[in-house]
């Protein structure tokens, strides 16, 4: 059984969905985006990606971001 209250909470408060976006989205889409959000925020348990590379914890003040670490630029 799907816990709609939990999905509604994360979609509205953390992912900033509108009511219409929430009702148009599938639970799988919301959960997938939530998992990516948690990885970005450093909230995942192991802080590594599927390749085993360390993921930056952007909440850690000692984290230094350089242009070389931004492969998408």
pLDDT per residue rounded down to tens, the chain (73 residues): 778 888 899 999 999 999 999 999 998 999 999 888 887 877 766 656 566 666 655 555 566 666 676 666 5
**What secondary structure, in 3-state letters, does 41-66 show?**
HCCCCCCECCCCCECCCCCCCCCCCC
Which residues, in sequence order, are bridge partners of residue 48?
54
Dihedral pair phi/psi, residue 35, rounded to 5° = -65, -40
Q: How many CA atoms lie within 13 A of 28 on its CB side?
A: 0
pTM value?
A: 0.58
pLDDT at position 58 is 56
């Amino acid at each position: 059984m799907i816990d709609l209250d939990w999905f509604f909470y994360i979609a509205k408060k953390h992912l900033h969905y509108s009511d219409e976006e929430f009702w148009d989205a599938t639970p799988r889409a919301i959960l997938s985006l939530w998992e990516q959000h948690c990885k970005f925020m450093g909230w995942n348990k192991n802080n590594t990606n599927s390749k085993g590379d360390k993921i930056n914890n952007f909440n850690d003040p000692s984290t230094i971001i350089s242009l070389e670490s931004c492969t998408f630029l």
